[in-house]
Amino acid sequence: MTMTGIKTTGDQPAVGVFALQGDVAEHERVLTALGARVSKVRSGSDLEGLDGLIIPGGESSVMDKLSRLLGLAPAIQSAVADGLPVYGTCAGMIMLADRIANPITGQQSLGGLDITVRRNAFGSQVESFETSLGVDEVSDKLVHAVFIRAPAVTQSGPEVQVLTRVETGEPVAVRQGNLLATSFHPEVTGDWSFHRYFLERIVAARG
């Protein structure tokens, strides 16, 4: 079967979007347009049968609080440990980071990626910016990237592959095994390269 730009050998991949907080609908739209089967994830049982999960942009401290309160956090952590492909954008990157340099009081992350992130590293909402980034692993064209109160990766372990950096040198897209994270929001730009890349990783992981 062929999805837009993606060759799969079996059914369409089932991709969940973490839906307790954040820009859920934007990811759902892109994934649906690319031919994935999409569902919202609000509890551990929603993870059943998924081939992949996206954690959107939003507010990581709220995502953290709600996901622990509702028992979704440990379910995602065990799915990650079992190899579920997960892609985190912006707040989602913070959720996947093993370490947060500047958490709010009591804030934890799910972890999985051997990185340290600094929240709001590029300034406040009014300092949001857009740029184009070369990301050889993901696309042969420049990728359009929007940064909104975005985190930067300030340290990464040996298993982490840095996919691209901003001009000032901070890594803003990383991959480690089945985990992918970007500081920016491809879901709001109309540039679907990272979603395509993630779906390809899912297909490879299922392979």
Query: Would you name the residues annotated as active-site residues?
Result: 90, 185, 187
Tell me the CB-side half-sphere exposure of residue 14, using CA atoms within 13 A: 10
Tabulate helix, strand, coil % of the chain (nearest 5): 30, 30, 40
**Token digits of residue 88:** 């985190």
Among positions 27, 65, 149, 195, the unique one binding ligand GLN when judged by CB under 6 A: 149
Helix, strand or coil, per DSSP, at residue 176 = strand
Among positions 76, 97, 138, 148, the unique one binding ligand GLN when judged by CB under 6 A: 148
**Binding residues for ligand GLN restricted to 68-127, rule: CB under 6 A:** 90-91, 94, 119-120
Helices then strands, counting H and E runs in the chain, come out as 5, 14
Smallest distance, ligand GLN to C-beta of residue 49, A: 27
Smallest distance, ligand GLN to C-beta of residue 153, A: 14
Smallest distance, ligand GLN to C-beta of residue 12, A: 27
Helix, strand or coil, per DSSP, at residue 30 = helix
- Contact residues toward ligand GLN (CB under 6 A) are 57-60, 90-91, 94, 119-120, 148-149
